[in-house]
């Protein structure tokens, strides 16, 4: 992997990742006349739930569903200047101009998976998917050293139904300035299980799913993908490396080599869930990693198991799962699809 670091006109960092030698120049100057980013955010804590809530009013002005010929994530060509000054790229990462966290408290980055505006992650080849994994890993390592970052979440939102405002294939990386409520609760469960049984809860969950088999949808020598026993979403898959590691930086070479094939197969199955001619399946996919640094955690960070969670809000060909009264008001999920049925369907649409 070749990494090239440069700056945009307003001082934001831009990083190119290439497999082997780049096909063109890297680090061309950003010729736009941009003012400095004036992002400010505030974090408040709900006293009843004891959960942080972020406020970023400057995000109201962010780019919203531009036409393809005005996409800010495409390469700069001719007289049209974008967030990517070079005329082509493989994978590019840059600081978000409209971040949810800013001013030294946390960090938000955009990850462009390809310069092809009409592609998707599922249409990438394994070499490009491996390069994206390298970029995620590199950013995880660097952001873990950032003084304002406590947890790193690499994720992709795909589809207008999810709320995507830019159609170009891309994801984001959030460097949260706190441990997220989701992860905090998971760590408490892991700590309680260790005290009660002497065993790791993640290890037991993976052993149980592999042993039962009915919710396993894909297995390789180093990865297992399954629908959780208590899945919240209509179609939800968790992808675990067989060897427990706390974050992306700790994956061994064998697991890294197998990941692209396994992940691309899962994404392609998601697009086949609802039959021929169905619109591309909207989804959210993200890496759950141990917090950066062990201070203040109820258990050692090595007790956490890196895993990817992939889910869709589509419950049938023409219907979406809305988070209405019960889910939004009380956080009490009720699903229309049994996990075992979802797993069967995901096995039915396997490639070949």
CA distances from 105 to 47, 54, 58, 174 (A): 21, 11, 15, 11
Q: How many CB atoms lie within 10 A of CB 246?
A: 18
* Residues 157, 7, 26, 82, Cα dihedral to 10°: 50
CA–CA distance, 254 with 141 (Å, rounded to integer) = 19
Nearby residues of 157 by Cβ (< 8 Å), 6 or more positions away: 163, 164, 171, 172, 284
Phi, psi of 68 (to 5 degrees): -55, -35
Q: Token pair 């990742």 is at which residue?
A: 17
Radius of gyration (C-alpha) of the chain in whole angstroms: 20
CA–CA distance, 291 with 184 (Å, rounded to integer) = 9
Q: Which helix (H) or strand (E) holds 347?
A: helix 339-348
Q: Do β-strands 107-112 and 151-158 pair in parallel, antiparallel, or remain unpaired?
A: unpaired
Dihedral over Cα of 167, 155, 214, 262: its sign: positive
Is 170 tagged catalytic?
yes
- The residue from 168, 170, 193, 238 that is catalytic is 170
Catalytic center residues: 170
């Amino acid at each position: 992997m070749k990494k090239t670091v440069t700056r945009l006109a307003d001082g934001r960092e831009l990083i190119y990742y290439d497999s082997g030698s780049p096909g063109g120049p890297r680090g061309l100057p950003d010729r736009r006349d941009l003012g400095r980013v004036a992002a400010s955010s505030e974090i408040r804590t709900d006293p009843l739930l004891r959960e942080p809530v972020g406020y970023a009013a400057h995000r109201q002005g962010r780019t919203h569903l531009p036409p393809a010929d005005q996409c800010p994530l495409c390469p700069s060509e001719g007289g049209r200047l974008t967030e990517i000054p070079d005329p082509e790229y493989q994978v590019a990462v840059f600081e978000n101009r409209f971040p949810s966290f800013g001013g030294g408290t946390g960090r938000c980055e955009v990850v462009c998976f390809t310069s092809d505006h009409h592609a998707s992650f599922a249409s990438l080849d394994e070499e490009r998917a491996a390069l994206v994994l390298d970029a995620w890993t590199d950013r995880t390592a660097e952001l873990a050293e950032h003084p304002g970052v406590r947890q790193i979440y690499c994720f992709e939102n795909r589809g207008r139904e999810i709320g995507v405002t830019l159609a170009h294939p891309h994801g984001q990386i959030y460097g949260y300035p706190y441990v997220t409520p989701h992860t905090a609760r998971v760590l408490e469960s892991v700590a309680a299980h260790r005290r009660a049984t002497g065993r790791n809860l993640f290890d037991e969950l993976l052993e149980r799913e592999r042993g039962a088999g009915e919710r396993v949808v894909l297995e390789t020598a180093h990865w297992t993908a399954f629908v959780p026993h208590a899945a919240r979403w209509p179609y939800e898959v968790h992808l675990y490396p067989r060897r427990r590691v706390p974050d992306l930086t700790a994956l061994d070479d064998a697991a890294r080599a197998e990941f692209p094939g396994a992940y691309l197969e899962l994404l392609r199955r998601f697009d086949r869930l609802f039959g021929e001619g169905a619109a591309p399946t909207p989804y959210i996919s993200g890496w759950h990693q141990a917090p950066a640094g062990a201070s203040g955690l109820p258990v050692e960070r090595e007790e956490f198991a890196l895993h990817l969670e992939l889910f869709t809000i589509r419950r049938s060909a023409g219907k979406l799962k809305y988070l209405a009264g019960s889910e939004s008001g009380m956080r009490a999920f009720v699903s229309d699809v049994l996990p075992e049925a979802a797993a069967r369907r995901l096995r039915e649409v396997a490639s070949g």
